[in-house]
């Protein structure tokens, strides 16, 4: 099973692909989509095109997207939500199942602590995916989202068997 994790962002969207075989995880690829452009509509279109290209090249079986972190800046949160919409739209266009995870859930699954720092997430991703060299913090976060999805998939399978 190939999972593509996505850490949505308007300026930088991180993505990471892992393969799951039983309880084994293997790093496939990761990267950053940087749309450029000044206008919101231009960046959203570019994100759609860049992420569609990633899906065409990586051919995942499932996708996982991180929920938007809501902060005090309502306008910023709304714009980030639009980037997240692109992150949900592209895998939906490919007909893939999509898991959605809160940032604290991702951190708790990967690091063991729900309020872990970015460098802790990146370190644990490197430990769980030997040989992985994240293209940046957003790519490390995307790989963490994919790892979180893999663990939740395994838990769902165990419940079905019980």
141 is in an annotated binding site: no
3-state secondary structure of 89: helix
Give dist(CA 43, CA 151) in Å, integer. 32
- Predicted pLDDT of residue 160: 43
- Predicted pLDDT of residue 28: 98
Domain ranges of the chain: 2-161
Q: Which of 62, 66, 122, 141 is catalytic?
A: 66
% of the chain exceeding 90 in pLDDT: 78
State the pTM of this model: 0.92
- Asked if 73 is an active-site residue, the reply is no
pLDDT digit string, tens, across residues 1-23: 999 999 999 999 999 999 999 88
- Asked if 66 is an active-site residue, the reply is yes
- Asked if 138 is an active-site residue, the reply is yes
- Predicted pLDDT of residue 97: 96
61 is in an annotated binding site: no
Closest residue by Cα to residue 51 from 8, 103, 80: 8
| Confidence band for 37, pLDDT divided at 50, 70 and 90 | confident
Q: Which of 62, 122, 138, 141 is catalytic?
A: 138
Question: Across all residues in the chain, what is the average pLDDT?
Answer: 91
- Answer whether 13's CB lies under 8 Å from 50's CB: yes
75 has pLDDT over 60: yes
pLDDT digit string, tens, across residues 128-151: 999 999 999 999 999 999 999 999
19 is in an annotated binding site: no
Superfamily of domain 2-161, CATH level 4: Ribonuclease H-like superfamily/Ribonuclease H (3.30.420.10)
3-state secondary structure of 33: strand
100: β partners: 65
Q: Which of 7, 62, 122, 141 is catalytic?
A: 7
């Amino acid at each position: 099973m190939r999972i593509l994790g996505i850490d949505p962002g308007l300026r930088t969207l991180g993505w990471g692909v892992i393969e799951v075989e039983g309880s084994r995880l293997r790093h496939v690829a990761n990267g950053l989509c940087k749309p450029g452009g000044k206008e919101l509509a231009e960046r959203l279109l570019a994100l759609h095109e860049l992420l569609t290209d990633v899906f065409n090249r990586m051919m995942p079986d499932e996708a996982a997207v991180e929920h938007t972190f809501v902060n005090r800046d309502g306008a910023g949160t709304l714009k980030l939500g639009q980037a997240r919409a692109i992150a949900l739209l592209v895998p939906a266009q490919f007909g893939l199942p999509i898991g959605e995870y809160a940032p604290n859930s991702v951190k708790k699954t990967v690091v063991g602590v729900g309020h872990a720092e970015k460098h802790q997430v990146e370190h644990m991703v490197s430990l769980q995916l030997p040989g992985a060299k994240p293209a940046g913090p957003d790519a490390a976060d995307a790989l963490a989202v994919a790892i979180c999805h893999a663990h939740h998939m395994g838990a769902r399978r165990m419940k079905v068997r019980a």
